[in-house]
Structure 1
Amino acid sequence: MNTKANQTTINIQEKSSLIWSIADFIREYYKPHEYGKVILPMTVIKRFNDTLQPTKQKVLDIYEQVKHLEVIDGFLQRASGYQFYNISEYDFEKLVDDSEHVEENFRAYLNGFSENVQDILENFDFDREITKLSNSGMLFLIIEAFNKPNAYMGADKITSVDMGYIFEDLVRRFSESYNEQAGAHFTSRDIIYLMTDILLATDKDILIEEGVAKTVYDQTMGTSQMLSCMEERLLQLDSEADVKLFGQELNPETFAIAKADMLIRGGNSDNMRQGNTLSDDKFKDYTFDYVISNPPFGIEWKVEKKSVEDEHKLGDKGRFGIGLPKISDGQMLFDLNGLKKLKDDGRMAIIHNGSSLFTGAAGSGESEIRRYMLENDWVDAIIQLPNDTFYNTGITTYIWIMDKDKEEKRQGKVQLINASKMYENRRKNIGNKRVDITNECRELIVKVYGDFKNKEYKLDDDKVCESKIFNNEEFGFNRITIETPLLDEDGEIVKKGKKIAPDTKKRDYENVPLVEDINEYFEREIKPYNPNAWIDNKKTKVGYEIPFTRYFYKYEAPEKSEDIAERIVALEDEISESLHKLFGMEVAYNE
């Protein structure tokens, strides 16, 4: 398992560029954004082909011995050394040897795969592409190109981690061709490794001492790279680790890649499931030790609306009883799903944009979800990432760490970490990704998390990481409604029965921190300026928000006016001199 997990020294970029170049054969028949319909399934098929090659003949021999039996999967899996196999006489080498019957033979080859591989190919919807490629004369050329020695992708030479990088790069290229959101499919490894290392930080010593037997779940797994990185980290702690991975993915093509990867890693591919996590939960009543996810943010959940609202009505019996966010952004629904899936001592790392910190007034779905997480003492830490770390967005993003059983020193508290300056600029941008979180930066962020102090840390003058600790109540407030009497034309207070009528046009609202007494606040902040005002206590609501930016704001004095003036004069002189050299002009500026 360690061999399968660790990265080798192969040139990932070179291998993915080679595979990408095969798309040149189909450019007259497919648009660039359609290349993935051919290249991705062919890459998966070739990966299977090369991985099975060493035991190919053994599988064929065993098949001849057991083909008359009713159940033969176990025999063939043992023969192949994997949970999948192929009983066709063909492989890529033999397909190339018979160009006249390539479509017929290729279909026979694909039909020889075990059912779990058939499921993967169905999700690629590859059958129709085979016909199209064959009719255009391209099928043989593509198989021939994938059969070249430098296109070898067997698991003995290319590990699961290597293959993950290759798929990651291919998906990025196809996404960019279509101007699609590449980040919807995967998260770069520098971010994933930060998430995994933070997740394991508090458990590390125990895991090393007692051994690892853990379950990991990704509710929006893409090509399953977060899961494979968690497995990699756990195997590093314990080479005999028992790690079970579970994931759900909406996109059928990326799901197919994830399932193929799991098959070759030797894991249980049945734990990779396709479907919409919000409306079609494939892991109902499951709980896990770790949850790690990068759900979509800023995306509407109209498609899932009916199913989610129906489950919301179930209250505690469902996932979404606490509250529903605005229809324009469903990211916080994944918080609720993930928390429902955590064991009583489980931990979760999930990525959000800034809106999850503060969007929604008191009583709104977003505020109620924050209240639920904070009042249960599950929010452990929130880490601001550098901008421009993702392929498809340059906006500010955060890793939220949830813990259902915090260690004693962290109980009742939340750690905010500003790691926005912990990066190195990339030599070459990949989409919106302009910076990397280096190993050195990641190690410091993990240390900052582990130290759990109000402290600023530095790698150098530019790379600064700051930690601040707050009590949970710090983020809560009472939203109070301030009423002012309605006055008649004579300036007299209007009453309705025995009650003073409020002037709705003068109605106001105040957020009073939970740690402060409402009446004391009212007497100090409102009464001196509006003596007749009162609080409508029936309308008071509790809200929660986390003003992350405000906590880390540092005042910078504006530049002195005389310094600005000197700079302007210097620039004017420089421009005047340049114009004089170019045109022999003298330029006089008004003083």
Structure 2
Amino acid sequence: MNQFAHNKLVSFIWSIADDCLRDVYVRGKYRDVILPMVVLRRLDTLLEPTKAAVLEEVRFQKDEMKATELDDAPLKAASAYVFFNTSKWTLKQLHATATNNQQILLANVEDYLNGFSDNVKEIISRFKLLEQMRHMANKQVLLDVLEKFISPYINLTPHPVEDPDGNTLPALSNLGMGYVFEELIRKFNEENNEEAGEHFTPREVIHLMTHLVFDPIKDRLPPVMTIYDPACGSGGMLTESQNYVIDPEGSIKASGDVYLYGKEINDETYAICKSDMMIKGNNPENIKVGSTLSTDEFAAQRFDFMLSNPPYGKSWNSELKYIKDGNDVIDPRFKVELADYWGTIETRDATPRSSDGQLLFLMEMVGKMKSTRDSAVGARIASVHNGSSLFTGDAGSGESNIRRHIIENDLLDTII
């Protein structure tokens, strides 16, 4: 999809808010409807071609196998994705059979949402989409919003389509879908006077990070790669890394499997990330929701590559009880072994001041590096920080201990 088509698609989606939601939501709440509806419509378009096959599999299991509970594996095979919908509805059918009775439409919408596989239901729950559907039905705008999202003048499918005027609408690739999400999030953040960087990292920065991480060892990459982001947001850094190493026209052209892992605390961005993983054929179960600092979700795992843009300048005081008991560090991720003046090895505190937790995310990644015993190239990390990571903290402080640990173990490659 070229830039013109991308901008046109984003502008159309953006206009839905003004056309349908202006008197129903305050401007700051438009995103609560638009973002989940974009996700829903994208999933809906992907499942449309195999709808009949999925319904036939449902009939087979119920009528011929006499199943009381449906078996997910054949349904996933029928849908050709790791998700499916067993209801009779698509968004187009919901609109086509709708009347002016919004409550009947809402009942059909609920039946449609309940037909999704559990992994999509979790996304729906995180978005609080059912609540939004009910609110729109009560305000008599649900049908209008559905009509906009199934408009023949926009294409959220992975295939080119022709609009009613005979113009070809380009396919929306999975990568293009990611760009649409990020542009919408950026626009909503501007509307709400939020920092755009809180939700996504500019693509130019990600491109620089992927080059720094992969290019120096591009001829020695492991045949199977794992990539981890402990503050993954909407997943842009993970998927861009994957795209870079497997791009058949790129400089690496990796042919092996690439497995993505991440954790995100914000329900909305987690839902976007998980849906993106499902759409692209990655394992959505590798994306976890919750605080990386309070729960070590991937304690037993070590990764080949880690890229992250963790939150900086934000307090981690709410996580303090999971990391420290008084002055004692109770989470082993945030302890380091350092030699004192006489060469005696001591366990030291590796926690920064509670007003800024970015170095905790760095320690989370350092602790999950594969050793050279497990991988010939060990592990590589790229992390975005502000300047405070370089100079805050006196000698002997947690920040200083973290820097000593990294430098004395020869873990630092480049600072830009």
SS in 2 for 1:248: strand
Match of 2:194 in 1: 180
Contact (CA 8 Å) 1:312, 1:320: kept in 2 or not? no
**Corresponding residue pairs, total:** 373
Contact (CA 8 Å) 1:48, 1:154: kept in 2 or not? no
1:21 and 2:15 correspond = yes
Question: What is the one-letter code of the residue matched to 1:54?
Answer: P
1:217 and 2:221 correspond = no
Using structure 2 for the length normalisation, give the TM-score. 0.86
* Structure 1 CA distance for aligned equivalents of residues 200 and 362 of structure 2: 19
The structure in which a higher percent of residues are strand is 1
Contact (CA 8 Å) 2:58, 2:70: kept in 1 or not? no
Distance apart, 1:71 and its partner CA: 4.8
1:331 and 2:358 correspond = yes
SS in 1 for 2:259: strand
* Structure 2 CA distance for aligned equivalents of residues 13 and 299 of structure 1: 33
Distance apart, 1:379 and its partner CA: 0.7
Match of 2:106 in 1: 103
Deviations 1:396-415 (A, max 9, x none): xxxxxxxxxxxxxxxxxxxx
% identical aligned pairs: 40
Deviations 1:244-302 (A, max 9, x none): 00010010000000000000101100001100111122212211000100001111111
Question: What is the one-letter code of the residue matched to 1:359?
Answer: T
Distance apart, 1:352 and its partner CA: 0.4
Deviation >3 Å, runs of 4+? 7-10, 310-315
Match of 1:94 in 2: 93
Paired residue for 1:123, among 122, 126, 147? 126
Q: Which runs of 5+ in 2 are unaligned?
A: 160-170, 337-349, 372-377
Match of 1:200 in 2: 214
Residue 338 to residue 249, structure 1, CA distance change in 2 (3 Å): same
* Structure 2 CA distance for aligned equivalents of residues 358 and 130 of structure 1: 49
1:294 and 2:305 correspond = no
Residue 312 to residue 253, structure 1, CA distance change in 2 (3 Å): farther
Deviations 1:139-190 (A, max 9, x none): 0000010011233312342222101100001111111111112211110111
* Structure 2 CA distance for aligned equivalents of residues 263 and 151 of structure 1: 22
* Structure 1 CA distance for aligned equivalents of residues 93 and 255 of structure 2: 39
Q: Could you say what the CA RMSD is over the residues aligned between the two structures, in angstroms?
A: 1.7
Distance apart, 1:310 and its partner CA: 4.3
* Structure 2 CA distance for aligned equivalents of residues 175 and 289 of structure 1: 33
* Structure 1 CA distance for aligned equivalents of residues 262 and 15 of structure 2: 31
Deviations 1:304-341 (A, max 9, x none): 111121498457x7111132111111111111101011
Deviations 1:541-591 (A, max 9, x none): xxxxxxxxxxxxxxxxxxxxxxxxxxxxxxxxxxxxxxxxxxxxxxxxxxx
Paired residue for 1:164, among 178, 181, 185? 178
SS in 2 for 1:186: coil
Contact (CA 8 Å) 1:33, 1:177: kept in 2 or not? yes
Residue 296 to residue 312, structure 1, CA distance change in 2 (3 Å): farther
* Structure 2 CA distance for aligned equivalents of residues 66 and 193 of structure 1: 47
Contact (CA 8 Å) 1:313, 1:321: kept in 2 or not? no
1:155 and 2:182 correspond = no
* Structure 1 CA distance for aligned equivalents of residues 107 and 407 of structure 2: 61
Contact (CA 8 Å) 2:323, 2:329: kept in 1 or not? no
Question: What is the one-letter code of the residue matched to 2:405?
Answer: Y
Residue 306 to residue 110, structure 1, CA distance change in 2 (3 Å): same
Residue 229 to residue 52, structure 1, CA distance change in 2 (3 Å): same
Match of 2:83 in 1: 84
Contact (CA 8 Å) 2:264, 2:289: kept in 1 or not? yes
Rg larger in 1 or in 2? 1
Match of 2:343 in 1: none
1:51 and 2:51 correspond = no
Distance apart, 1:133 and its partner CA: 0.3
Q: How does 1:386-465 map to 2 (within 5 A)?
A: none
Higher relative contact order (CA 8 A, sep 6+): 2
Distance apart, 1:12 and its partner CA: 1.9
Paired residue for 1:12, among 6, 14, 18? 6
Contact (CA 8 Å) 1:186, 1:225: kept in 2 or not? yes
Q: How does 1:314-325 map to 2 (within 5 A)?
A: 318-322=332-336, 323-325=350-352
Contact (CA 8 Å) 1:51, 1:153: kept in 2 or not? no
* Structure 2 CA distance for aligned equivalents of residues 134 and 378 of structure 1: 56
Match of 2:292 in 1: 277
